[in-house]
Amino acid sequence: MRNFKLFIFLISGLIISCSKNDEIELNCLNAMLSDSDMTEYQGQEIGCNFFLELYHYDQKQYYLLGNHCTGLISYPTDCEGNRLCENRDDNKCRRFYKKAVRIGIVGVRL
């Protein structure tokens, strides 16, 4: 009986630890929206307005500013406002664009 309880405890811990690593916490979304003067995206028509996209890469959140009507160049920015790279040819940027998981549009400036 004791071994069974230990087994259940270990399996539960393994499941919880694995699912925690895969979760994406939106811990700085509100700050990023406020800093960018945007509102939360809820399916509104974007048109030529600026929008903010969320990506998950290397266990962190990154945001990209976008606009469908301009030739905007944007670089991945983390929750502290630090750019991952300064040049698209940078190896960090290349890895980001190859491996980052796009979560979607999270903010829009209307």
Q: What is the pLDDT of residue 72?
A: 86
Query: How confident is the prediction along the chain (110 residues), in pLDDT tens digits per residue?
Result: 554 443 444 344 434 444 444 444 556 899 899 988 999 999 999 999 999 999 999 999 999 999 999 988 889 999 988 999 887 778 998 999 999 999 999 999 98
DSSP, res 90? S
82 by DSSP, 3-state: which? coil
Written as one string, the DSSP assignment of 25-76 is --TTHHHHHHHTT-EE-SS---TTS-EEEEEEETTEEEEEEE-TTS------
Number of Cα atoms under 13 Å in the Cβ half of residue 82: 4
Q: What is the pLDDT of residue 101?
A: 97
Q: What is the pLDDT of residue 26?
A: 56
In this structure, what token pair is assigned to residue 35?
């800093």
Q: What is the pLDDT of residue 22?
A: 45
Residues 36, 77 contacting (CB under 8 angstroms): no
Q: What is the pLDDT of residue 1?
A: 55
How do the domains of the chain map onto residue ranges? Answer: 25-108
